Amino acid sequence: MNAAYDDVEVTVSREVLTAVKIGSNTVDAANYTFTPDESDGVLVIKKEYLATLEAGLTTFTLVTDVGNGTLKVTVVDSTPTADPAMATFDKNAAGAGYVDVESEIANGEISAVKNGAATVNPDNYTVVEGTLTIKKEYLATLTAGEKTFTIETDNGDCTIVITVVETASVLPISATYDLNAAGENHDDIDAVVSNGTVSAIKNGETTLTPTTHYTNTAGAITVLIAYLGTLTVGEYSLLIETDNGNCTIALTVEDTTE
């Protein structure tokens, strides 16, 4: 607990306290105590009540039997925070979400990072000027699902929830087709799609026709010569659409005919 999270205690000199107000609102007497003395009284505003106030300057009016006084209390929130506190990581190394997860940790010096009850090896993350970076290579070892990371600091803990997913991927990610019938790469192109059911294959604006242009057997796709032979020399991107995201094959069409 932050040491600053404490009651506020002040001396009210030679007066009898009859009420405490914020603006026109009277503070419930359960939120403070006043102990009178022969000369001075001691007012204690309870920390539990102060914690309900918004951060910033609060002016209390102390109503006494001989007039009013003021007490100014500045409320700050030094609770450790993570920004962002939620993130998504894609285990698919070819996906856009296969990146380190970064979060700004405010109001505390990081002493440990835990995934559930397990302490994460410091080799799997870095901390630079308050920026926590959890490495993608470590995140890729986790199973799919929500993972709650507890960030322990010298000022309390905060959490980051990382949703680990695994979108569709394809291997190989690049291929070459040779228009030369005698060339080594004059053949169908085979690939395997993982973590997704193929719904379509596109080359730019052109949607390939199943059976005629390609075959698909439980994710094992074959782009047929019947389609590849209609292309001209150049670079293409075959987009494979699935129910779990899209993936691509970078296709090079060449002609080695002498």
What is the mean pLDDT of the segment spanning 20-49?
Answer: 91
- DSSP string computed for 132-197: EEE-HHHHTTSPSEEEEEEEEEBTEEEEEEEEEE---EEE-SEEEEESSTTSTT-S-EEEEEESS-
Please provide the CATH number assigned to the domain covering 81-165: 2.60.40.10
pTM higher than 0.75: no
How high is the pLDDT of residue 4? 65
pLDDT of 167 higher than 90 = yes
Concatenated DSSP letters of 33-89: EEE--SSEEEEEE-HHHHTTSPSEEEEEEEEETTEEEEEEEEE-----EEESSEEEE
Domain 81-165 matches domain 169-254 at the CATH topology level? yes
What pLDDT score was predicted for residue 9?
81
Average pLDDT, integer, range 97-122: 96
Question: Residue 97 has what pLDDT?
Answer: 93
* pLDDT higher at 185 or 64: 185
pLDDT at 175 over 80: yes
Mean pLDDT of 99-119: 97
Pairing of strands 67-75, 220-223: unpaired
Instruction: Flag whether pLDDT at 232 surpasses 70.
Output: yes
Supply the pLDDT for residue 1.
Answer: 39
Mean pLDDT of the chain: 93
Range scoring the smallest mean pLDDT among 10-19, 84-93, 112-121: 10-19
pLDDT at site 81 = 95
Mean pLDDT of 54-62: 93
Residue 3: its pLDDT value, please? 45
Is the pLDDT score of 24 beyond 90?
Answer: yes
Tell me how far apart the alpha carbons of residues 45 and 185 are, in angstroms, rounded to a whole number: 82
% residues pLDDT > 90 (the chain): 83
Query: Domain residues of the chain, as ranges?
Result: 8-75, 81-165, 169-254
pLDDT recorded at residue 216: 97
The predicted-structure confidence for 196-223, as pLDDT tens digits, reads as follows: 999 999 999 999 999 999 999 999 999 9
pLDDT at 16: 82
Topology of 8-75 in CATH?
A: Immunoglobulin-like (2.60.40)
Averaged over 130-137, what is the pLDDT? Answer: 97
CATH code for the domain defined by 169-254: 2.60.40.10
Residue in the structure block whose two tokens are 């979060």: 103
Q: In which band, very low, low, confident or very high, does the pLDDT at 55 lie, cut at 50, 70 and 90?
A: confident
pLDDT range class, residue 14, cuts 50, 70, 90:
low
